[in-house]
Chains A and B, each alone.
Chain A
Amino acid sequence: MIGIFDDPRIATGAVSKDAPLLQVEHLTMRFGGLLAINDVSFSAAKREITAIIGPNGAGKTTVFNCLTGFYKPTTGRLTLNREGTLFYLERMEDFRISQEAHVARTFQNIRLFPAMSVLENLVVAQHNALMRASAFTFAGLFGLKRYRTAERDAVERARYWLERINLVDRADWNAGNLPYGDQRRLEIARAMCTDPVLLCLDEPAAGLNPRESLELNELLRFIRDEHGIGVLLIEHDMSVVMEISDHVIVLDYGRKIADGAPEAVRSDPTVIKAYLGEEEDEELPPEIAADLEKKTGGEA
């Protein structure tokens, strides 16, 4: 850890103890002429599920890509507080964000390693710990005990998550051959195997049937309550959002238009307008209107 205090990406200080897990300040992301995120600030706490919702193209995935280093934000500060150490995510390379700040994510379109087995997917996620244990391959090459123990621990951790997502029986299947719902859950388990403090899930319920969706709610609650980490959740399915999130942030055209408890956000007129469109061009077909009414709890 020598020199860590000199690293401009990392800071430590007394204040940081009370800082929230994630603090996003004035985040702006511009793609040429398109302002995908426009001065968005919010924070996320640990042991909480923070949902980010908004219509298509609102900039939700772009927020995740900035948080995980896939895009460099145009301006803004992203501060992650991991046990009193502050990491400025906007200054870090993508793989270092996972390695050092321990932010994990899943993708809107699943990105597993399809030709590798389910177990291998979970073990690859523990790459950095295993690399250290194998002394960057040398101890592993000669099969030293230290490495063998580390590998066994990695497999046990994988088993722990396989039990949580009911995939123990399929541990040796190719990940690409799993049904869609299993792939979604496997991706979450894989992200958890990196030992994150913040887990970013991009539409984990997309394409799930109602039963799978309920199981997902269980899994997310389990992750929040048992592992005490913060979860950022992008989700279109309002039933999931209202059910499990502690805090909801609403984006529309790259701007934050609401921020608060689920009940408060649900009845916020700006949010309803963003989802329904402007008053003038209403005249919605009756079935869509009915649907919206159901989702927003009839308060629209």
Chain B
Amino acid sequence: MAAGNVRTAEGALDLPAILKDCLMSALVVFALAAPIIGLRTIDTPGGLGIDYRFDDVALAVLAGFVGRLLVNIYWAYGGRRRPPAKVDAIKGDSFASFMKKVGLYGGPVAILFAVAMPAMPFADRYVLDVAILVLTYIMLGWGLNIVVGLAGLLDLGYVAFYAVGAYSYALIATYFGWSFWVCLPLAGVFACFFGIILGFPVLRLRGDYLAIVTLGFGEIIRVVLLNWYEFTGGPNGVSGIPRPSFFGLNFARIAPEGEQTFHQFFGLEFSSVHRIIFLYYLILALALITNFVTLRLRKLPIGRAWEALREDEIACRSLGINPTNTKLTAFAIGAMFGGFAGSFFATRQGFISPESFTFIESAVILAIVVLGGMGSQIGVVIAAIFLIGGTEVFRELEQYRMLAFGGAMVLIMVWKPRGLLAHREPTLKLPPTAKAEAKPLAGAGGAA
């Protein structure tokens, strides 16, 4: 619908045009609502019957008409016609400058808060559980951020590496009985290895093609886990996965023969929250390691090469950067962190099955990265709190939860098309010269 001029040339309100516009909106709403809202299938004794709900349709049409009218009135009286395209909204945008500050100073504050959280009065078991879940997704988001945000490789199958990590841990721990601290690095290595195996053939593809192949790979892993019954337990999953121990002290109520438990060793009253708090700190530490490694890598040649590849692959080739190897490192390192997160997931749940590794998980992790602002570490945190914490907190909304969630995402993408935190700090700045016009530069002379 052409949202026509709401004022005539003389500046008066152009009523017929507005009415026409509103009627058109109402018509569209009618066309949509009549089949979707107006008809409802019900069980009748004779089979399936149809229930007509004309009053609901009328209500929807009326809402469409009035809504459009309000929009028109808003436009007519000084409102902005359309949200201006904020492609580069860094300057003069108070929100952007606020978010920039959050990006600069928010990190330490958030870390302090996260460390102190279990000691806070509101931190009951439920809150800690949600916090652990959010931290898991933050870690996954940070891992995927290396691949999507820095290297610009659209990976729709990230959950595959999460699954590989989880199953590596679960199977090694249940078959061999090795401890969590041995299995964790192994799970990372396995996931990394899978990343390389997958990456080698597919990283020659670009953009959408890569996205489709990674999507397929994610499904293949899940289907293999589902069907390789003898090894993975198929749809039954793996259960009885050992819990992690605190330097050999486990969190059981009663110690096995000849061992001590955590609460006995420290002379505490037994409480099941101890284990939760331990898991909380475990995932916090893992996530922070992911973050610090990423921040460090970003400032190294490899990280700059990732970003350069995201910006322009052809130019990278002309500068002697091996694109396949560079992408492969991004893919492998991202996969490794996914694997770590997966083994944490397995040890926390104590039970895993292919159900936990469906495409929707990849989509949620990707949404966290994109919503946060690609490449932004703090952005991932904010988006994960919003998406994961939000859906947990609003469980009462029941089936409307996903609707609200989708709507909120659409709104954010309209409002901030480049993600919440799109600001990027350069990885290095030109230091002021100590002695200007100093020594003739060795090496800059090139090959004479």
Contacts and interface: CB of A to CB of B under 8 A. Distances in A.
Interface of A: 68-70, 82-83, 94-99, 102, 104-105, 107, 111-117, 119-120, 123-125, 127-128, 130-131, 134, 136-137, 140-141, 151, 153, 155-162, 168, 171-172, 190-192, 194-197, 226-229
A131 B302 contact: yes
Interface in B391-448: 424, 426-431, 433, 441, 443-448
Nearest to B311: A113
Contacts of A115: 307, 311, 424
Contacts of B429: 117, 119, 171-172
Given A113-B312, A120-B304, A128 B430 contact: no
Nearest to A170: B430
B318 A68 contact: yes
Interface string B294-325: 00110011101101100110111111111100
B447 A195 contact: yes
Given A115-B424, A194-B319, A160 B308 contact: no
B318 A94 contact: yes
Contacts of B427: 120
Given A111-B312, A114-B311, A131-B302, A168 B430 contact: yes
B283 to A, nearest CB: 23
A74 B444 CA distance: 36
Contacts of B430: 119, 155, 158-159, 162, 168, 171-172
Contacts of A112: 311-312, 315
Interface string B318-346: 11111100000100000000000000000
Given A94-B317, A95-B323, A98-B318, A113 B308 contact: yes
A274 B342 CA distance: 67
Contacts of A162: 430
13 contacts: A99-B322, A104-B318, A111-B314, A125-B319, A157-B443, A159-B430, A168-B430, A194-B320, A195-B446, A197-B446, A227-B445, A227-B447, A229-B447
A95 B320 contact: yes
Contacts of A82: 447
Contacts of A161: 444
Nearest to A111: B315
A155 B443 CA distance: 12
A134 B303 CA distance: 12
Those 10 A-B pairs whose CB atoms lie nearest each other, nearest first:
A98-B320, A113-B311, A99-B320, A171-B430, A117-B426, A228-B448, A130-B301, A111-B315, A140-B300, A227-B446
A95 B321 CA distance: 6
Nearest to B88: A177
Main secondary structure of the interface of B (DSSP, over half): loop
B446 A192 contact: yes
Nearest to A104: B318
A124 B447 contact: no
Contact of B314 (A107, A131, A137, A197): A107
Contact of A128 (B312, B318, B320, B448): B320
A71 to B, nearest CB: 12
Given A98-B320, A153-B443, A160-B441, A116 B448 contact: no
A93 B90 CA distance: 40
A113 B301 contact: no
A131 B320 CA distance: 12
A104 to B, nearest CB: 7
B314 A196 contact: no
Nearest to B300: A140
Contacts of A130: 301
Contacts of A69: 317
Nearest to A119: B430
B279 to A, nearest CB: 28
Given A107-B314, A123-B304, A124-B308, 9 more contacts: A97-B320, A111-B314, A112-B312, A116-B307, A116-B311, A124-B319, A141-B296, A160-B441, A172-B429
Contacts of B312: 111-113
Contact of B305 (A127, A160, A168, A171): A127
A197 B311 CA distance: 26
B330 to A, nearest CB: 12
Contacts of B314: 70, 107, 111
Contacts of A137: 297, 300-302, 329
Contacts of B428: 119-120, 123, 151, 155
Nearest to B447: A197
Contacts of B441: 156-157, 160
A157 to B, nearest CB: 5
A127 B448 contact: no
B10 to A, nearest CB: 42
| From B302, B308, B444, residue with most partner A Cβ within 10 Å | B444
Contacts of B426: 116-117, 119-120, 172
A6 B406 CA distance: 60
A127 to B, nearest CB: 5
A41 to B, nearest CB: 24
A95 B443 contact: no
B387 to A, nearest CB: 25
A126 to B, nearest CB: 8
Contact of B446 (A125, A153, A196): A196
A287 B81 CA distance: 48
A127 B304 contact: yes
Nearest to B322: A95
Contacts of A159: 430, 433
Contact of B301 (A96, A114, A127, A157): A127
Given A155-B430, A171-B429, A116 B301 contact: no
Interface in B216-241: none
A134 B319 contact: no
Interface string B77-120: 00000000000000000000000000000000000000000000
Contacts of B424: 115
A271 B242 CA distance: 82
B313 to A, nearest CB: 10
